[in-house]
């Protein structure tokens, strides 16, 4: 991973020199000597550069390469993160670079915050998943190894950067998990990888298939063919407090064929990412542990494969959930809510959890409604909902509230059981959320984040290449840290 360094010392001559310029501002920087300043001003005038965010001018002087980076008008944390991501691509073939941190006109952030956000953008924007290439040429891999930030009080800036470094590590971990092929990331392998995180001080327990059968996780087991695991991950940043500030629940379908209700073949390969919710929950706990955040959080993920075979659940079957409620299975491709319902109930029944957030790539209906701009949030508590939406704005992982209600809830009533796992062709996101709400204990605050549509990037952005985004790690981290 790219190394980030903060220093007030001398910078080596081999480092690319980077200065930031806000929109329509004069180019004045203590980082440039007179000759360099003249070269830069001439290049800027010839290029028509105006300082818009994500635009650059390159100058080659006697002292080496200089990049003038456009910061935009009154840059904020998110725009600086995006600038960092753009710089990661701009510096692709450079080994070392130095960003000179200076005051920015119209920017409300401190010098340390400017450095933190650009560095965070560099960290997640430089992410790549190259694990399975065997014939790619060396020159096709990035050369960038280190970005130095020239700042005052580097020790203090480095210490306060720890939260960002931990979050960047967690985002990259989530993307790694989600980009893995399903034949490599089975439920057992995923569970083993989670167990490995105990070195961070996380308390981890894994229920295997036998334990799940003994405890009667009826819905989860109905969705599982072959292997299944149910890891529980706990972080206590406030060890003297018994209660948990929050419980996180993640859908972990490591491959979703649809089961007997088989999905169409086109695009089925993307169903290796139906475990994104689980990856986000585990990565969120990893971030808290690395940050040593003073918050108590417990997470649980249901890891299964949804495959058709002679023993697979059939449409029309009735299963009994861990809660004792019965469910008529109308469609075996609506399996995620079955997994979530059982583990939500287990977490609330066995641990001191009164605020619950589940996250899942759950419905195509939510994806069709919101596209790749927002994740859907369904919530039974206005305060919790508003706090999560605010965290989404701050982290640039935006949430849009979608409705619950008795009308939608009635749509999942069954003629032969307590409920059915499908509400019909309309309002699929809301009826799925209503199904989950039936597994929330009375009085508990609960939010459901449907991240279908935002879990994958099809074209690539400044902060994420093509592939898995890790959406959810940032918004949950911002929300949980705000509880301190």
Known catalytic residue at 337: yes
Residues 410-424 have pLDDT tens digits of: 999 999 999 999 999
249 and 351 Cβ atoms separated by less than 8 Å:
no
Residues 432-477 have pLDDT tens digits of: 999 999 999 999 999 999 999 999 999 999 999 999 999 999 999 9
For 250, the token pair is 């993640």
383 and 293 Cβ atoms separated by less than 8 Å:
no
Question: What percent of the chain shows pLDDT beyond 90?
Answer: 94
Residues 166 and 92: their CA atoms lie apart, in Å, by 23
* Among candidate residues 300, 309, 336, 301, the one with its CA nearest the CA of residue 225: 309
Of residues 175 and 63, more confidence is placed in 175
Per-residue pLDDT for 242 more than 80? yes
pLDDT category of residue 309 using cuts at 50, 70 and 90? confident
pLDDT category of residue 63 using cuts at 50, 70 and 90? confident
Residues 97-145 have pLDDT tens digits of: 999 999 998 899 999 999 999 999 999 999 999 999 999 999 899 999 9
Q: Where are the beta strands (DSSP E) in 228-295?
A: 228-236, 246-256
Question: What percent of the chain shows pLDDT beyond 70?
Answer: 100
Q: What is the mean pLDDT of the chain?
A: 96
pLDDT category of residue 164 using cuts at 50, 70 and 90? very high
Domain range 3-157, CATH class: alpha beta
Per-residue pLDDT for 28 more than 90? no
Place of tokens 């695009």: 267
Residues 351-401 have pLDDT tens digits of: 999 999 999 999 999 999 999 999 999 999 999 999 999 999 999 999 999
467 and 270 Cβ atoms separated by less than 8 Å:
no
Q: Do domains 3-157 and 164-481 have the same CATH topology?
A: no
Residues 85-98 have pLDDT tens digits of: 999 999 999 999 99
Of 150, 232, 236, 337, the active-site residue reads 337
Q: So what's the pLDDT on residue 291?
A: 98
- The residue ranges of every structural domain in the chain are 3-157, 164-481
Q: So what's the pLDDT on residue 428?
A: 98
Place of tokens 């725009």: 79
Strand partners, 18: 67, 99
Per-residue pLDDT for 152 more than 80? yes
Place of tokens 């965070």: 120
Q: So what's the pLDDT on residue 257?
A: 96
For 396, the token pair is 């640039």
Q: So what's the pLDDT on residue 62?
A: 79
User: What fold does the segment set 164-481 form as a domain?
Assistant: Aminopeptidase (3.40.630)
Place of tokens 């997470």: 299
* Among candidate residues 140, 52, 121, the one with its CA nearest the CA of residue 83: 121
Known catalytic residue at 89: no
Of 263, 390, 398, 483, the active-site residue reads 263
pLDDT category of residue 193 using cuts at 50, 70 and 90? very high
Per-residue pLDDT for 226 more than 80? no
Q: How far is CA 169 from CA 3, 33, 40, in A?
A: 12, 36, 35
Q: So what's the pLDDT on residue 1?
A: 83
């Amino acid at each position: 991973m790219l190394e980030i360094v903060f220093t007030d010392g001398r910078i080596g001559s081999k480092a690319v020199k980077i200065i930031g310029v806000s929109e329509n501002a004069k180019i004045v920087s203590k980082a440039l000597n007179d000759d360099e300043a003249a070269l830069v001003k001439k290049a800027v005038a010839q290029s028509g550069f105006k300082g818009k965010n994500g635009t650059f001018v390159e100058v080659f002087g006697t002292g080496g390469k200089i990049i003038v980076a456009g910061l935009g008008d009154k840059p904020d944390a998110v725009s600086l993160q995006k600038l960092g991501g753009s710089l990661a691509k701009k510096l692709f073939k450079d080994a070392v670079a130095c960003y000179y941190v200076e005051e920015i006109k119209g920017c409300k952030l401190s010098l340390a915050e400017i450095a933190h956000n650009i560095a965070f953008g560099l960290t997640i924007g430089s992410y790549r998943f190259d694990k399975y290439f065997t014939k790619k040429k060396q020159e096709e891999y990035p050369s960038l190894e280190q970005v130095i930030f020239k700042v005052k009080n580097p020790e203090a800036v480095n210490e306060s950067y720890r939260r960002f470094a931990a979050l960047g590590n967690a985002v990259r971990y989530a993307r790694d998990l989600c980009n893995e092929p399903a034949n490599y990331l089975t439920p057992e392998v995923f569970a083993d990888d989670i167990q490995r995180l105990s070195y961070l001080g996380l308390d981890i327990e894994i229920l295997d298939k036998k334990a799940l059968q003994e405890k009667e996780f009826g819905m989860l087991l109905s969705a599982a063919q072959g292997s299944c695991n149910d890891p529980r991950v706990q972080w206590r940043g406030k060890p003297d407090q018994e209660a948990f500030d929050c419980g996180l629940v993640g859908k972990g379908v490591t491959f979703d064929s649809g089961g007997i209700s088989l999905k169409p073949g086109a695009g089925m390969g993307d169903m290796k990412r139906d475990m994104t919710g689980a990856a986000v929950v585990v990565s969120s706990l990893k971030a808290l542990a690395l940050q040593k955040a003073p918050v108590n959080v417990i997470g649980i993920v249901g890891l299964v494969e949804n495959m058709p075979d002679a023993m697979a659940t059939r449409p029309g079957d009735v299963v009994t959930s861990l809660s004792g409620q019965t469910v008529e299975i109308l469609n075996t491709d609506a399996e995620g809510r079955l997994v979530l319902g059982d583990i939500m109930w287990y977490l609330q029944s066995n641990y001191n959890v009164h605020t619950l957030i589940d996250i899942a790539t759950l419905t195509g209906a939510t994806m069709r409604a919101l596209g790749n701009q927002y994740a859907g949030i369904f919530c039974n508590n206005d305060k919790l909902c508003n706090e999560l939406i605010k965290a989404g704005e701050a982290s640039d992982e935006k949430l849009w509230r979608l409705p619950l209600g008795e009308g939608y809830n009635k749509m999942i009533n069954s003629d032969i059981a307590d409920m059915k796992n499908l509400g019909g062709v309309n309002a699929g996101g809301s009826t799925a959320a209503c199904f989950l709400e039936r597994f929330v204990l009375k009085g508990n605050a609960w939010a459901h984040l449907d991240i279908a549509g935002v879990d994958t990037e099809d074209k690539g952005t400044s902060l994420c290449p093509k592939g898995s985004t890790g959406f959810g790690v940032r918004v949950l981290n911002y929300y949980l840290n705000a509880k301190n």
